[in-house]
């Protein structure tokens, strides 16, 4: 089974990585891929370049068995729709291998508003990560109109796609926005993200200048409007 965790990773931090590691171990994944988004459809453009975010993700998992960074969305123009990534991956791994898309509970609640969302159950399972005792949506609402909930990870191996599994993990209350704010204020975000990622940020002087961040966003918007 292959797990997929997408995000802007701007920067990547332990709030992304700890749940991913727990899902990898608990579900016995063959591989978990971090997929940095180029142009996220549901949030503002990232504050730093695609190549910096890719490099930080690679630093974050450096050498961790069963983890890899997948750059396909960074190489694709236009909005980084998850369904396009799943279509590509399904074509690569074949029709029989289970694909698992990891999403948080908040994202799952709005999954039925995503681009071509009704195709997702025909491409992958969805693993919803949340806190122990977290409340899940009612059956037959939202995305659950099109997919079946299972109560055991073993069920995900029976089919290549189409199921939803709610899995309680350790959720760390860390945000990339707060990390960027600390850096802009000249304060340390150490222990919120892996040391190799922080070292990379400091080496490249990232997130220190609001003006540079604004210019980057304006440049990205202009380029993708063409």
**Which domains are delineated in the chain?**
2-225 (3.40.50.620)
**H or E stretch at 219:** helix 210-225
Q: 6 pLDDT exceeds 80?
A: yes
- Residue 178's pLDDT is what? 95
CA distances from 121 to 7, 29, 113, 223 (A): 20, 19, 14, 33
What pLDDT shows up at residue 91?
Answer: 97
Tens digit of pLDDT for each residue in 168-225?
999 999 999 999 999 999 999 999 999 999 999 999 999 987 544 444 443 443 444 3
What's the maximum distance between 2 C-alpha atoms anywhere in the chain? 51
Give yes or no for residue 134 having a pLDDT over 80.
Answer: no
pLDDT at 61 over 90: yes
Q: What values do phi and psi take at 34, rounded to 5?
A: -90, 125
At residue 4, what are phi and psi to the nearest 5 degrees? Answer: -130, 125
Provide the whole-model pTM.
Answer: 0.86
> For position 147, what pLDDT does the model report?
86
Residue 121 and residue 98 in contact, taking contact as beta carbons nearer than 8 Å: no
């Amino acid at each position: 089974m292959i797990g997929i965790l997408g995000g802007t990773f701007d920067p990547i931090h332990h709030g992304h990585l700890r749940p991913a590691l727990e899902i990898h171990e608990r579900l016995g994944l063959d591989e978990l891929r971090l997929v940095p988004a180029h142009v996220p459809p549901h949030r503002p453009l990232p504050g730093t370049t695609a190549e910096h975010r890719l490099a930080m993700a690679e630093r974050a998992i450096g050498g961790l068995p069963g983890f890899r960074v997948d750059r396909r969305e960074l190489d694709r123009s236009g909005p980084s729709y998850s369904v396009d990534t799943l279509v590509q991956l399904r074509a690569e791994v074949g029709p029989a291998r289970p694909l698992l898309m990891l999403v948080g509970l908040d994202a799952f609640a709005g999954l039925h508003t995503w681009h071509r969302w009704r195709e997702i159950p025909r491409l992958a399972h969805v693993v919803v990560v949340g806190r122990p005792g977290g409340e899940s949506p009612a059956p037959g609402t939202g995305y659950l109109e099109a997919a079946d909930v299972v109560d055991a990870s073993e069920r995900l191996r029976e089919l290549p796609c189409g199921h939803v599994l709610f899995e309680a993990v350790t959720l760390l209350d860390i945000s990339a926005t707060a990390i960027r704010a600390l850096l802009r204020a000249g304060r340390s975000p150490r222990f919120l993200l892996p040391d190799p990622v922080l070292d990379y940020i400091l080496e490249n002087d990232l997130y220190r200048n609001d003006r540079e961040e604004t210019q980057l966003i304006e440049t990205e918007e202009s380029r993708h409007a063409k």
